[in-house]
Amino acid sequence: MAQRSWSDLPRDLIDRIFRRHFDIRMIGPEDLARCSLVCTTWRCVIANIWGKNLSLLSSASGLINKRILAEYQKFQRDPPEGCRVRFVDSLFHWEGIIIGPQSSPYAGGVFLLDIHLSDPYPYEAPKVTFQTKVYHPNIDQQGRLCLERLWSPATTISHVLLVTYARFNDPDPDDPIDFEIAHIYKTQRTQFEEKARAWTKEFATASQISAIDWTDWS
């Protein structure tokens, strides 16, 4: 994952890319992966190809994090309850959805998440941020989760989302990010649940659901 500029690519690959009659079919999967590391446009092209045929990545073993790909494929085969994910523009950028549990104040809510994996993954926790506003003691006002205590190299994105889903049913006010909400949860549970329902209705229901192309999450 070290290549970051066009000058890092092999000269013969650059010649093939910039020749007048360029044909993407002349570029193999390993070289496509190299290009995706140094150019945003190419990352979009590669993401589109991956979405159609993930097997194209099999020969790029020196460049593609097989752990991430294996996680993603396993997630699609057996998604955790109430959770979905998809690639955005690379293996390192995912988008997720959590459906609020019916037994919680978040019932009926559709919560979007942005998931970024760093180069050292899985030795560094991913950055998971709610794009939908949610009233919860374990989620801060910017939508961030604190994963440091939960994370280890053996942890997976699937497990993170499963734990997050469970936290909708059972918040942990003793390990909060938002201390004010945690205090309300402990001392005024009815007020907490009323506000959580109100935020879910305002930010996570009709407008959110209508904005999602559900065919992308099948």
Residue positions annotated with a catalytic role: 146
Residues 209 and 2: their CA atoms lie apart, in Å, by: 39
Residues 62 and 88: their CA atoms lie apart, in Å, by: 22
Tokens 């093939």: give the residue: 16
Backbone angles phi, psi at 33, to 5 degrees: -65, -40
Q: Compute the C-alpha angle 61/63/66, nearest 5°.
A: 55
Cβ atoms of residues 177 and 140 within 8 Å: yes
Residue-level length of the chain: 218
Taking alpha carbons only, the member of 126, 124, 122 closest to residue 65 is: 122
